[in-house]
Amino acid sequence: MSFQMSVEVERKFLCKADTLKTLEEIGAACVGQHQFQDQYFDSINFDLTLKDIWLRKRKGCWELKCPITEETIGGQSKAAALCTRYKEITNLPEIQLRVKEVLKDVCEDTDTSSSQENESWLSKMNLVCFAEYKTVRRSFILEEGVQIDLDQADFGYDVGEIEVLVPEGGDVQSALEKIERTAQKLGLTGDQRVEGKMSVYLKRNNPQHYAKLLSEHIL
């Protein structure tokens, strides 16, 4: 059986007053604006996120982001260090299998095979929603496969991201190069990773878990 799986390579950046003007000047095409709500789920002891595994529901669809293991991150360039790479899984049975595998020590063995249509699998696996927010996103395309999103989260945080989706087994290195080229065109100069929405959300709403994720080098 084959599952939809890709690697999302992404660099976040701070939105400035002139970011929209710069996007226009470099010829980025606006491909639309939409709003969505994200709900993130974990066990009450945060067994998933403490392993850098992020389970969310967006627009009625389930998504799981997991760290990639294949690539050696050590010795990477400064530009590559500013990017995150996560495996993105969108097939619900595959998501359930992976979550079950991570939670196997803290959760009874549950049969989730009949839980596709409803959300009973969440309670069977003792998963609860720990973060919920809405985002207004404006998306732009610069070169083929390179998307730039400007996000406004409803809790008062704006952030941009340059994103390339690499199909499984595809060329992550070339994605990193595309992101670096785009960052240069946008005039991004900082050499610090920029915080994502979740980081800021947890800092404000669950400082204890935020501190734990920081100390485990997950955020």
CB of 82 to ligand V4E, least distance (A): 8
Nearest in space to 161 (alpha carbons), one of 205, 201, 197: 197
Of 62, 50, 58, 20, the closest CA to residue 210 belongs to 50
Give the residue, chosen from 196, 203, 205, 206, that forms a contact with ligand V4E under the rule CB under 6 A. Answer: 196
Q: CB of 48 within 8 A of CB of 55?
A: yes
Token code pair at residue 87: 């495996």
For 66, phi and psi rounded to 5 degrees? -125, 150
Task: Please report the beta strands in the chain, taking only residues with DSSP state E, as ranges in sequence order.
Answer: 5-13, 29-42, 54-58, 61-67, 83-89, 128-141, 147-153, 157-167
Residues that contact ligand V4E, how many (by CB under 6 A): 14
Kindly tell me which residue out of 86, 121, 133, 140 binds ligand V4E, with binding defined by CB under 6 A. Answer: 86
CB 139 within 8 A of CB 35: no
End-to-end Cα distance, the chain? 33
Q: Shortest distance, CB of residue 109 to ligand V4E, whole angstroms?
A: 27
Q: How far is the CB of 6 from ligand V4E (least distance, A)?
A: 11
Q: With respect to ligand V4E, which residue has the nearer C-beta, 84 or 96?
A: 84
Phi then psi for 124, rounded to 5 degrees?
Answer: -60, -35
Smallest distance, ligand V4E to C-beta of residue 111, A: 28
Q: How many residues does the chain have?
A: 219
Q: Which residues contact 80 (CB under 8 A, 6 or more apart)?
A: 176
Closest contact distance (angstroms) between CB of 196 and ligand V4E is 3
Choice from 85, 178, 185, 197 touching ligand V4E (CB under 6 A): 197
> Of 12, 85, 178, 185, which lies in the binding site for ligand V4E, with binding defined by CB under 6 A?
12
23 binds ligand V4E (CB under 6 A): no
Longest dimension (CA), the chain: 56
Which of 41, 54, 121, 133 is close enough to bind ligand V4E by CB under 6 A?
Answer: 54
- Residue range at the interface with ligand V4E (CB under 6 A); choices 14-22, 164-172, 182-190, 191-199: 191-199
- The DSSP string of 152-166 is EETTTEEEEEEEEEE
Judge whether 61 and 90 are in contact, CB under 8 Å.
yes
Shorter beta-carbon distance to ligand V4E: residue 21 or 134: 134
Binding track, positions 132-171, relative to ligand V4E; x by CB under 6 A: -----------------------------x-x--------
Task: Give residues in contact with ligand V4E (CB under 6 A).
Answer: 10, 12, 54, 65, 84, 86, 161, 163, 193, 196-198, 218-219
